[in-house]
Amino acid sequence: RDVLVHALPLFHLHGLGMGLHGTLLSGASATLLPFGPHAVVAELTREDDRRGTMFFGVPSMYQGLCDWLEDHPADLSGVRVFVCGSAPLPPALFDRCKRLLGQAPVERYGITEGGIVVTNPYDGPRQPGRVGYAFPGVEVRLGELDEVLLKGGQVFGGYWRNPQATSEAFTPEGFFRTGDIGEIGEDGTLAIRGRIKELIITGGFNVYPREVELVLEAHPAVLEVAVAGVPSDKWGEEVTAFVVPSGSKPLVESELIEFAHEQLAAYKCPKRVIIVDKLPRNAMGKVQRSELTSPAS
């Protein structure tokens, strides 16, 4: 039987619904513990019947595991599957996981109002930067501003005693408005590009932060990056990159901006690069963009 090493918060769909409830409903078991790379690896490498065969985590947890494993290699071949959700897994971290964990995590996409609705295959290719295919019975389409719209039997029927909120949450055709920005590839896989409320409007152009982050994350001087719009008299909002340096090479603002210009339209490129020690995150590891401010603000 599977044993899930469970270090996710239990107040969230990922930890409670998919982690705990899903494990118990399948007849498996779970070991609950606060996240710590050493403790998680210890549970995944035990030599008894309590050894973990599954691990569900968020990108910041996988970053921590990989950092630990760089200095403390471990044989994780007994782990059947690693799963990642709740926030985008950067392609560079995806590749790092393949090298250090022995397999790429299965990325998937879910919402509180409908559970897990899209996933990469367990048996089959797992693509970096993409959350996979819709489950059977789930219909995914893109609406205005490329908003991800969902319809399916497991999508909730509405908000308790709040008909106005329910009406606003669904399209006339009955699709739930997720508030997420997506892109559907030719192969039918979905990629999440950010949240509509995080959209940057600069000089009249729309910029999706995740698109810019994916480019900057590929630079060797960047460990982590979050892109946000900072108020600007000239642009309305100024595309600004908040960067945690990797330490492997010097981080020079002009070089990073030029790196972006090589791959993005000029209006999408950061006007400023602000170096930070860490990015503000919530308990699920999601970057809190509202807390990103320039030094002058």
170-179 long-range CB contacts below 8 Å, 24 or more apart? Answer: 171/143, 175/139, 175/141, 175/143, 175/149, 175/150, 175/151, 176/111, 176/113, 176/114, 176/149, 176/150, 176/151, 177/143, 177/147, 177/149, 178/111, 178/147, 178/148, 178/149, 178/150, 179/147
Name the amino acid, one letter, at 14: H
* End residue of a domain, out of 59, 81, 104: 104
* End residue of a domain, out of 58, 81, 104: 104
Residue 155 belongs to a domain: no
**Domain range for residue 46?**
1-104
Across the chain, mean pLDDT equals 94
Mean pLDDT of all residues in 181-204: 94
**Residue 285 pLDDT:** 84
**Residue 76 pLDDT:** 98
Residue 186 belongs to a domain: no
Residue 121 belongs to a domain: no
CATH of the domain at 67: 3.40.50.980
* The pLDDT of residue 295 is above 70: no
* The pLDDT of residue 205 is above 80: yes
CATH of the domain at 237: 3.30.300.30
Residue 48 belongs to a domain: yes
Mean pLDDT of all residues in 89-94: 91
Residue 219 belongs to a domain: yes
pTM, full prediction: 0.87
* 129 within 8 A of 190, measured Cβ to Cβ: no
* 7 within 8 A of 40, measured Cβ to Cβ: yes
* 39 within 8 A of 28, measured Cβ to Cβ: no
| Confidence at 153, pLDDT banded by 50, 70, 90 | very high
* 14 within 8 A of 21, measured Cβ to Cβ: no
Q: Look at residues 207, 246, 250 and name the one whose alpha carbon lies nearest to residue 230.
A: 207
Q: Look at the chain and report how many structural domains it folds into.
A: 2
Name the amino acid, one letter, at 153: G
